[in-house]
Structure 1
């Protein structure tokens, strides 16, 4: 059976093997432990892994997490609303889009949090500027060039912790922009030739091109190359195979995977359903693999997007750039459930958008503080409170 077929089967059935293995670890063929197995032995002592899933283009939160009990939803979206008899109800008011069915096992096991009303106050309708705000973790009136994860890595540098990062599905550095490394040709990411051959890569076993230069004391940091696999599920598989956290206790890792296509100005219903199905399959696949490798309890998966979509549909059976939207957080330490206020379509703002109830930076503060144990204010440059959704 091919690896992709196994991952898809595991995701679809919710099955997962419990044998703990490091990322990209291989099974030994002799009595001599291989380097991957040495990494696997240390898996239980390793630090925390963040996986960001970027929904590029502005995901429609209202058709992702559906307020199916609100008549205003169907009045505003006569042609693109998700029918009541098709939604996956989470309670008496809120439901998931039917394409997200593969997330149900995580919801039922209490490991999926649905955070409603997430966004940026005074959001910008430009894709570029809004994504810059989300990537830098800043207020709308603050202009920065360094990503919020780059500032997190800077704290680890001071403490000499081991940290690693990887990007799949996009060549943009995004939240990693401004990391302390230099490169003569392209964004300074060191190259990992094959994750299966380098499951615990570091500066001694990465394969640098002649013009690759890493400057300064990078606190034993490792970087996987930005890449654009053929499909989102290829990106998910690549992410699951990438050794982003070393074997040392107290190490940390961050991966970003991009799913593009959410700028649904026309013919949204069919396009959005396909995208959400890919998202659900990707998350289910990651869950199956991380459980199999003994990493699920040390991982936090978060979705994010530059903005939501308009509450009212447009004449092209699509939506325009909007305001707040719902996002997902999942992992072995997540206290599942609904967080934030359900969409109140009677309280649209002056531009007809859903108002922001939860500052998007609270998602980041939850990662930085309770999950990673970093000093949040020094990274977000503001007093941002984490969300109370992680178990100790």
Structure 2
């Protein structure tokens, strides 16, 4: 058998770490009936220019150049409307497939990108630091009497996660064995490089890589087989980075790859300067990717078992800054999309005449949103202790 070249070994070494867990992640054959897609709006989205309080005179006063003119706002009701770049979402709103959680945040807010996203990812309090993601925590929660409430073996969904953008975040933890997968074709590439090769002697590191090939081989072949056998999706996705992530998620779901959790990332929301054109482009990209993903899920008959939720480390301050942008703030709205949603608004819009040091007052603790997902979507016990016993939002009726 031929020996591996240096380039082949380096390629295999780069790919092996994220597929070492695949035999566990893709061991189950039945497709997941419930799927959660989390989309991180990395950098902190400007909520006031996303879901706009167009009827509030304080909005235009706080943003003399950034405010969206009232006649351009896509009105959702008599108070609030969407940025015009989000026009593709309007049919989803009318079909009650779109929900908007208002004033989402936590107190006291931390304005550090790194610390605040840690809090959102783990569902910790502002005073504690936790390593595991909130999904890992709720899926492995044990009651105060020691009775296990783990949902890992629940046949209603496959408790495994796939990361298509950014770090693991909410999926971090051994329970989900999250798999970082930028491109499933890499799996086959790794197997082809490692398959049938002699194990080199005298190099334990390379030997270890090669000894994983048996486990990797079956998982990679399973993914490749599913993708090959699945009918092609005819929906055309945007060519942006986010569009490609959603397209890959759609392909994996259509192929029946058994994972219930997907994590995506849309970057660029830290809009400190010249925000208007940048933010419009970001929101337009987000809207197009979301509606295209919905169309693809309808095409493959999966929309009723998919829930998409956006999140970010924080919103932006109420007043614009001197650079035509907005600085780190607190509360912001977030979107929920799904075929089983009731749609509409959840929570309460923060008041612009009742700011706290120039910041919006959070009206909806983000852990209530997580609790709604855990209970209403994943079917876990009410008010998980790992989410601070926060009452869930009524997302599903």
TM-score, normalized by the shorter chain, greater than 0.5: yes
Aligned pairs (5 A) from 1:235-250: 235-243=245-253
- The answer to whether structure 1 residue 366 and structure 2 residue 372 are counterparts is yes
Q: Which runs of 5 or more residues in structure 1 are unaligned? A: 1-38, 198-207, 216-221
Question: What secondary structure does 2:68 align onto?
Answer: coil
- 1:140 shift after superposition: 1.1
Inter-partner Cα distance in structure 2 for 1:71 and 1:240: 42
Inter-partner Cα distance in structure 1 for 2:73 and 2:181: 44
Q: 1:162 aligns with which of 155, 158, 162?
A: 158
For 1:385, the equivalent position in structure 2 comes to 391
8 Å contact from structure 1 (residues 312, 319) kept in 2: yes
Inter-partner Cα distance in structure 2 for 1:271 and 1:262: 8
- The answer to whether structure 1 residue 319 and structure 2 residue 309 are counterparts is no
Residue 271 and residue 386 in structure 1: after superposition, are their counterparts in 2 closer, same or farther (change >3 A)?
same
For 1:55, the equivalent position in structure 2 comes to 41
Aligned pairs (5 A) from 1:1-392: 46-154=32-140, 155-157=150-152, 159=154, 162-170=158-166, 172-180=167-175, 189=180, 193-194=184-185, 210=210, 231-243=241-253, 253-349=260-356, 351-375=357-381, 377-378=383-384, 380-391=386-397
Residue 268 and residue 190 in structure 1: after superposition, are their counterparts in 2 closer, same or farther (change >3 A)?
closer
Inter-partner Cα distance in structure 2 for 1:70 and 1:261: 28
For 1:218, the equivalent position in structure 2 comes to none
8 Å contact from structure 1 (residues 137, 361) kept in 2: yes
8 Å contact from structure 1 (residues 181, 213) kept in 2: no
Residue 49 and residue 213 in structure 1: after superposition, are their counterparts in 2 closer, same or farther (change >3 A)?
farther
Normalising by structure 1, report the TM-score.
Answer: 0.74
Deviation string 1:208-228 (CA, Å, 9 cap, x unpaired) is 96475999xxxxxx999xxxx
- The two structures, once aligned, show a CA RMSD in angstroms of 3.1
Inter-partner Cα distance in structure 1 for 2:82 and 2:183: 38
8 Å contact from structure 2 (residues 162, 179) kept in 1: no
Residue 230 and residue 102 in structure 1: after superposition, are their counterparts in 2 closer, same or farther (change >3 A)?
closer
Inter-partner Cα distance in structure 2 for 1:190 and 1:272: 28
For 2:234, the equivalent position in structure 1 comes to none
8 Å contact from structure 1 (residues 310, 323) kept in 2: yes
Residue 258 and residue 376 in structure 1: after superposition, are their counterparts in 2 closer, same or farther (change >3 A)?
farther
Residue 306 and residue 194 in structure 1: after superposition, are their counterparts in 2 closer, same or farther (change >3 A)?
same
Inter-partner Cα distance in structure 2 for 1:140 and 1:148: 14
Residue 211 and residue 90 in structure 1: after superposition, are their counterparts in 2 closer, same or farther (change >3 A)?
farther
- 1:242 shift after superposition: 1.8
Residue 64 and residue 213 in structure 1: after superposition, are their counterparts in 2 closer, same or farther (change >3 A)?
farther
Question: What secondary structure does 1:385 align onto?
Answer: coil
Inter-partner Cα distance in structure 2 for 1:290 and 1:326: 24
Q: Which has more radius of gyration? A: 2
Residue 92 and residue 377 in structure 1: after superposition, are their counterparts in 2 closer, same or farther (change >3 A)?
closer
Inter-partner Cα distance in structure 2 for 1:323 and 1:280: 23
Question: What secondary structure does 2:342 align onto?
Answer: coil
Inter-partner Cα distance in structure 1 for 2:181 and 2:118: 24
Normalising by structure 2, report the TM-score.
Answer: 0.74
Give the aligned length: 320
- 1:181 shift after superposition: 8.0
8 Å contact from structure 1 (residues 100, 280) kept in 2: yes
8 Å contact from structure 2 (residues 152, 175) kept in 1: no
8 Å contact from structure 2 (residues 268, 282) kept in 1: yes
Residue 188 and residue 103 in structure 1: after superposition, are their counterparts in 2 closer, same or farther (change >3 A)?
closer
Report the structure, 1 or 2, having the larger helix content: 2
Inter-partner Cα distance in structure 1 for 2:173 and 2:210: 22
Question: What secondary structure does 1:101 align onto?
Answer: helix
Inter-partner Cα distance in structure 2 for 1:113 and 1:269: 24
